[in-house]
């Protein structure tokens, strides 16, 4: 850290239309250099065309690039007010730096960030974005569909090693978290069920509740949400960083469609793994319910199972499995689409990952309701 012996100072002197900016002291980083606007420039503004600004550095101590902002501000001021600038009183080195800094003119047509848009503009933007988002989804679904058609004809270029990798990471590695969450969900359903049912002397029916709950709703829902956070996010991050790294461009340039190549194996992997994980989750949830009922109410496991078998049917299981497949497709598609849509920097990959999770959870909840509604219509 530089030691400041003398505080940096700037003083403005005038003599007719010749103005002199006298710089003194040590202009080094962290010395708290004065800024251009602290001085009173009004008198010089009136000297359009005739004014001269001389910068004098005779008493300048040590200096570094801290001096540059002052000079550039003076330069801009002089250009703007048509006053000539004389830097001859400055050390050679800082003059060279100044020349470099002003060598390339400021690019005026490159200003890109728009000002904060007004209210109606924002609504307009929002509507346009929504429209664009929907278009992107339809296009993506269409291309994925075509990809699957080509796959069926054996013509698709698909990375089957990705399939294996995803199966591995969603399968083996998701087990602990799915176990834990399913156990807790089973516990919660049982606990709540007993607290309510005991008022009607109907604790026996708690197994109905756990059975329906895990098979029809919670198994698929909780597993879906876990995989949205784990796998969907991972898809978005993988594909997003491939985009940043121009790897997707390299694929396209080699005549390979990234949608086909990267998305199909991921969708297939989740379509395979989701049902397996969901069945596992159902089993864990039900066992957990059985255990809690036993602890809280001394309900024997045989009685619990008896109640369970009275209640649930194969169609409840099928409903859960259909949901699991649908959720798997939704998670894989949201993750991949958000990754493909990602912007071109590290920050954008983070945003894409977050969006992937939000999108897939939203879609899971919405489709869950839709499927339940259809099931109710057909009395399933």
Partner 1 sequence: MSKEALIRVENLTMAYGDFVVMRDLNFDVKQGEVMVIMGGSGCGKSTLLRHLIGLQEPAKGEIYYGDTNYTQSDPDRRQKINRRFGVTFQQGALWSSMTLEENVAFTLEEYTNLPPEEIQSLVRSKLSLVGLRGFEQYYPAEISGGMRKRAGLARAIALDPDILFFDEPSAGLDPLSSKRLDQLIMELRDSLGATIVIVTHELESIFDISDRAIFLDTSVRTITAIGHPKAMLKDPPNENVYRFLSRDATKPA
Site string (136-165) toward partner 1, x via CB under 8 A: ---------------------x----x---
Site string (96-125) toward partner 1, x via CB under 8 A: ---x--xx-----xx-x-------------
Among 177, 256, 291, 296, binds partner 1 (CB under 8 A): 256
Nearer to partner 1 by Cβ, of 157 and 315: the residue is: 157
For residue 85, the cross-strand partners are 53
* Main-chain phi, psi angles of 15, to 5 degrees: -150, 90
**Cβ partners under 8 Å of residue 23, min gap 6:** 8, 9, 10, 55, 56, 57, 59, 60, 67, 70
Nearer to partner 1 by Cβ, of 232 and 265: the residue is: 265
Closest CB 20 distance from partner 1, rounded Å: 25
Which run of H or of E encompasses 142? Answer: helix 119-152
Q: How far is Cα 272 from Cα 269, in angstroms, rounded to an integer?
A: 5
* Binding of partner 1 by 76 (CB under 8 A): no
Closest CB 87 distance from partner 1, rounded Å: 14
Among 252, 313, 344, 374, binds partner 1 (CB under 8 A): 252
Q: Which stretch binds partner 1 (CB under 8 A): 167-175, 194-202, 247-255, 274-282?
A: 247-255
Q: How far is Cα 309 from Cα 160, in angstroms, rounded to an integer?
A: 41
* Binding of partner 1 by 251 (CB under 8 A): yes
* Binding of partner 1 by 257 (CB under 8 A): yes
- Cβ neighbour number for residue 112 with a 10 Å cutoff: 5
Closest CB 255 distance from partner 1, rounded Å: 4
* SS3 of residue 369 by DSSP: helix
Among 108, 254, 298, 379, binds partner 1 (CB under 8 A): 254
Nearer to partner 1 by Cβ, of 157 and 297: the residue is: 157
Q: What is the DSSP string of 338-364?
A: HHHH--SSHHHHHHHHHHHHHHHHHHH
* Binding of partner 1 by 253 (CB under 8 A): yes
Q: What is the dihedral of CA 56, 60, 65, 67, to 10 degrees?
A: -50
Nearer to partner 1 by Cβ, of 110 and 152: the residue is: 110
Among 255, 314, 377, 378, binds partner 1 (CB under 8 A): 255
Which run of H or of E encompasses 57? Answer: strand 52-63
Tokens of 220: 């698929």
Closest CB 164 distance from partner 1, rounded Å: 12
**Cβ partners under 8 Å of residue 290, min gap 6:** 207, 210, 301, 304, 305
Residues that bind partner 1 (CB under 8 A): 99, 102-103, 109-110, 112, 157, 162, 241-242, 245-247, 249-257
């Amino acid at each position: 850290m530089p030691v400041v012996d003398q505080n940096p100072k700037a003083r403005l002197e005038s003599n007719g239309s010749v103005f002199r900016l006298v710089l003194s002291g040590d202009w080094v980083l962290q010395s708290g250099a004065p800024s251009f606007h602290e001085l009173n420039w009004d008198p010089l503004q009136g000297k359009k065309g005739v004014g001269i600004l001389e910068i004098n550095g005779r008493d300048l101590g040590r200096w570094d690039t801290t001096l540059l902002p002052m000079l550039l501000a003076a330069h801009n001021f002089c250009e703007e007010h048509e006053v000539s600038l004389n830097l001859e009183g400055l050390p050679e080195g800082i003059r060279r730096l100044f020349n470099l800094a002003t060598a390339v003119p400021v690019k005026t047509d490159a200003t890109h960030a728009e000002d904060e848009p007004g209210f109606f503009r924002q609504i307009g933007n929002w509507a346009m974005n929504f429209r664009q988002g929907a278009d992107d989804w339809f296009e993506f679904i269409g291309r994925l569909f075509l990809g699957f058609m080509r796959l069926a004809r054996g013509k698709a270029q698909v990375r089957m090693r990705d399939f294996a990798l995803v199966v591995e990471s969603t399968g083996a590695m998701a087990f602990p978290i799915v176990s834990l969450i399913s156990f807790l969900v089973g516990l919660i359903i049982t606990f709540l069920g007993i607290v309510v049912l005991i008022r009607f002397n109907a604790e026996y029916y708690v197994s109905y509740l756990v059975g329906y709950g895990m098979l029809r709703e919670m198994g698929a829902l909780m597993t879906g949400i876990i995989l949205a956070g784990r796998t969907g996010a991972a898809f978005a991050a993988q594909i997003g960083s491939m985009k940043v790294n121009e790897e997707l461009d390299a694929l396209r340039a080699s005549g390979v469609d990234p949608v086909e190549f990267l998305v199909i194996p991921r969708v297939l992997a989740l379509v395979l793994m989701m049902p397996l994980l969901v069945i596992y989750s159902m089993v864990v949830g039900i066992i957990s319910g059985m255990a809690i009922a036993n602890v809280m109410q001394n309900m024997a496991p045989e009685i619990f199972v008896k109640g369970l078998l009275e209640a649930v049917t194969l169609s409840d299981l099928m409903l859960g499995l259909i949901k699991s497949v649908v959720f798997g497709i939704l998670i894989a598609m949201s993750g991949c689409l958000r990754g493909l849509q990602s912007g071109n920097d590290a920050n954008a990959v983070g945003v894409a990952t977050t969006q992937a999770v939000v999108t897939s959870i939203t879609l899971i909840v919405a489709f869950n309701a839709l499927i339940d509604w259809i099931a109710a219509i057909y009395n399933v």
